[in-house]
């Protein structure tokens, strides 16, 4: 018997088991759908396996080392601090294994059928799932495409042993003595920070005028100060030209200010962006509308130009954020299940785990100006917060963007320790339509970094206590 002769019927089929796909599958199953999820790699996608989670585990380990080496200000001095990098990788791998195993258990617990293989659309109600040995046809009522993205490979920087992408940087077996990072976005800055903490000589080459282009300059200035303190060289308006590999290293050639330069390092990490995985799954034959960049066009429900097919995550417009994909996955699942749901990106946060951390949600000053809003920007410095002083994390600030008319909070930016956690309160405040008076009247625990939010609200009201 030939496998695949008899189609298997399902209500909703999800292609890709990353943070968008597996969340969509679980929510659709919770709402009564018979759901099948197809994944050609590992459950959890890029985020859990070779992205968000392992990079944060590596960063955490690097923080531990840096703290052990540099705690003289606290009266603590350690000698002969060493790193067993194989143990670091073991720790990172353990974190990944727990989370990906958890995803599998959650899918099975919600009665989602998990299928391993590559999916290809035959028509708008059928697709084939192929493995090396066989293929199987699935007939579906709705499909959610959540195939994610992959690192962009630039000319003359072919990924190999010494020219690596983020996956390669997370899988190194030793701490490099030197590392060139091409691209100063959030991935390059985070991994550059991690290896700089371990003692690697890091050079960041960025083509734009500044690193971390998605964040305000006031915020990136704080990060640049921290990177330079770690000995990181940052070259902006630099165009990477070529990489020449040897057995022991790589020579990178770049142009900056009209001059050609070369730099040698153990590895060259290329992080210049990501490309959507929309090829070779049959979208063209279905007539699914796409942009020139290969992104799938969708409406506010996540619905493509083909009525019963939805797309979420990195393959649609917007920043490639795991929590954005998860949010879109829930919306698509709810729409498919007959509920009224649509995306609203106003209160979607973006976070970069540099030192200090950066986080933004809602409007920035530039966005408010562009829309002609009558707004007020109110800042409070970390240096005036007792908790920040007691943990030695005084660099940074929190800024609130409010409407002058009624004090409605429409945006917030944080550059400082704990920004990734603190931004949640501000996202909730925007989502629920709170004013700065609401925030200022909310009692925040003392001493805590959370007080900075309350203090910034008092600045906005014109009656700050702990700053002039």
Q: Which two tokens stand for residue 259?
A: 């001059």
Q: Which residue do the tokens 């903490």 mark?
A: 197
- Residue 143 sits in the same domain as residue 46: yes
Give tens-digit pLDDT for 387-400: 999 999 999 999 99
**At what angle are helices 186-197 and 52-69 packed, to 10 degrees?**
30
Residues 330 and 429 in one domain: no
| Domain CATH code at residue 394 | 3.30.390.30
CATH code, 88: 3.50.50.60
Asked if 197 and 325 sit in the same domain, the reply is no
The CA distance from 291 to 308, in Å, is: 19
Give 59 or 134, the one with higher predicted confidence: 59
Assign 1 a pLDDT band (cuts: 50, 70, 90).
very low
What's the pLDDT score for residue 468? 86
Q: How confident is the model over 84-96, as a mean pLDDT? A: 98
Which residues, 6+ apart, have CB-to-CB distance to 404 below 8 Å?
374, 375, 376
- Is residue 38 within 8 Å of residue 25, measured between CB atoms? no
Q: Is residue 452 part of a domain?
A: yes
The CA-based angle 237-243-246, given to 5 degrees, is 145
Residue 367 within any structural domain of the chain: yes
What pLDDT score does 105 carry?
98
| Residues placed in the known binding site for NAD(+) | 183-190, 206, 273
**Whether 131 and 169 share a structural domain:** no
Torsion angles phi and psi, residue 204, rounded to 5: -105, 125
Instruction: Note the pTM of the prediction, 2 decimals.
Output: 0.95
Query: What proportion of the chain, given as a percentage, has pLDDT over 70?
Result: 99
For residue 184, pLDDT beyond 70: yes
Question: Is residue 1 domain-resident?
Answer: no
- pLDDT higher than 80, residue 167: yes
pLDDT class of 5 with cuts at 50, 70, 90: low
CA distance readout (Å), 423 to 55, 115, 377, 405, 462: 20, 37, 16, 24, 22
Taking all residues of the chain, what is their mean pLDDT, rounded to a whole number? 97
Domain match, 454 and 308 both: no
* Same-domain pairing of 216 and 255: yes
- For residue 468, being part of any structural domain is answered with no
Tell me: do 19 and 109 sit in the same domain.
yes
H or E stretch at 423: helix 419-431
Q: What is the pLDDT of residue 300?
A: 98
**Are the C-beta atoms of 127 and 138 separated by less than 8 Å?**
yes
Could you give the CA distance from residue 305 to residue 307 in angstroms, rounded to a whole number? 6
Whether residue 34 is found in the same domain as residue 94: yes
User: Is 74 part of a structural domain of the chain?
Assistant: yes
Residue whose C-alpha is closest to residue 457's, from 435, 427, 428, 425: 435
- Kind and range of the H or E run holding 383: none
pLDDT of residue 119: 97
Dihedral, 242, 243, 244, 245 alpha carbons, nearest 10: -160
| CA 339 – CA 302 distance, rounded (Å) | 13
Residue 4 binned pLDDT confidence (cut-offs 50, 70, 90): very low
Structure tokens at 207: 């083509």
Report the C-alpha gap between 394 and 386 in whole angstroms. Answer: 9
CA nearest neighbour of 44 among 111, 127, 101, 129: 101
How many C-beta neighbours within 10 Å does residue 425 have? 18
Please say if 142 is a catalytic residue.
no
What pLDDT does 417 receive?
Answer: 98
135 and 39 within one domain: yes
**What is the predicted pLDDT for the residue at 2?**
47
Residue 349 lies in a domain: no
Residues of the domain holding 310: 8-151+275-336
DSSP state of 102: H
Which residue out of 63, 444, 446, 466 is catalytically annotated? 446
Span 238-242, average pLDDT: 97
Domain count, the chain: 3
Q: Residue 466 falls within a domain, yes or no? A: no
pLDDT band at 132 (very low <50, low <70, confident <90, very high): confident
| In a shared domain, residues 268 and 294 | no
Does one domain contain both 22 and 74? yes
Q: What is the 3-state secondary structure (H, E, C) of 15-77?
A: ECCCCCHHHHHHHHHHCCCCEEEEECCCCCHHHHHHCHHHHHHHHHHHHHHHHHHCCHHHCCC
pLDDT, tens digit (0-9, with 9 covering 90-100), for 263-322: 999 999 999 999 999 999 999 989 999 999 999 999 999 999 999 999 999 999 999 999
Beta partners for residue 414, in sequence order: 359, 398
Query: Annotated binding site, which residues?
Result: 56, 147-149, 183-190, 206, 273, 314
Same domain, 12 and 110: yes
């Amino acid at each position: 018997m030939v496998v695949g002769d008899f189609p298997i019927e399902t209500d909703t089929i999800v292609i890709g088991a990353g943070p968008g796909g597996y969340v969509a599958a679980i929510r659709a199953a919770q709402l009564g759908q018979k759901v099948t999820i197809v994944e050609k790699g590992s459950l959890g996608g890029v985020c859990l396996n070779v992205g968000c989670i392992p990079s944060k585990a590596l960063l955490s380990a690097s923080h531990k080392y840096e703290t052990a080496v540099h705690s003289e200000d606290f009266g603590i001095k350690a000698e002969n601090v060493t790193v067993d990098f194989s143990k670091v990788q073991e720790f990172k791998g353990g974190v990944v294994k727990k989370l990906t195993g958890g995803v599998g258990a959650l899918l099975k617990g919600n009665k989602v059928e998990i299928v391993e293989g590559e999916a290809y659309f035959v028509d708008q109600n059928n697709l084939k799932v192929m493995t090396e040995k066989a293929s199987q046809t699935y007939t579906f009522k709705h499909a959610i495409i959540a195939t994610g993205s992959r690192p962009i490979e630039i000319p003359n920087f072919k990924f190999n042993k010494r020219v690596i992408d983020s996956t390669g940087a997370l899988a190194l077996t030793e701490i490099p003595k030197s590392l060139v990072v091409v691209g100063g976005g959030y991935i390059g800055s985070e991994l550059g920070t991690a290896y700089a903490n371990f003692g690697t000589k890091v050079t960041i080459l960025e083509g734009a005028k500044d690193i971390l282009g998605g964040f305000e300059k006031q915020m990136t200035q704080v990060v640049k100060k921290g990177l330079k303190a770690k000995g990181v060289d940052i070259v902006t308006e630099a165009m990477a030209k070529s990489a020449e590999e040897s057995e022991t290293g790589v020579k990178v050639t770049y142009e900056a200010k009209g001059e050609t330069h070369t730099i040698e390092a153990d590895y060259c990490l290329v992080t210049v962006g990501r490309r959507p995985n929309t090829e070779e799954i049959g979208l063209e034959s279905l007539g699914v509308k796409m942009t020139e960049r290969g992104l799938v066009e969708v409406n506010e429900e996540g619905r493509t130009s083909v009525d019963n097919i939805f797309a979420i995550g990195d393959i649609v417009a917007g920043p490639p954020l795991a929590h954005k994909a998860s949010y879109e996955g829930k919306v698509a699942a709810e729409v498919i299940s007959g509920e009224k749901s649509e995306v609203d990106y106003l209160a979607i946060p973006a976070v970069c785990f540099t030192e200090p951390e950066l986080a933004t949600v809602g409007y920035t000053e530039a966005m408010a100006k562009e829309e002609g809003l009558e707004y007020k920007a109110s800042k409070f410095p970390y240096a005036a917060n007792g908790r920040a002083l007691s943990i030695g994390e005084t660099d940074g600030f929190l800024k609130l963007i409010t409407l002058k008319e009624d004090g409605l909070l429409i945006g917030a930016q944080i550059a400082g320790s704990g920004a990734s956690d603190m931004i949640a309160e501000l996202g909730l405040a925007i989502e629920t339509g709170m004013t700065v008076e609401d925030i200022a009247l909310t009692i925040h625990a003392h001493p805590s970094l959370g007080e900075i939010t309350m203090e910034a609200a008092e600045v906005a009201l014109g009656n700050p206590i702990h700053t002039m």
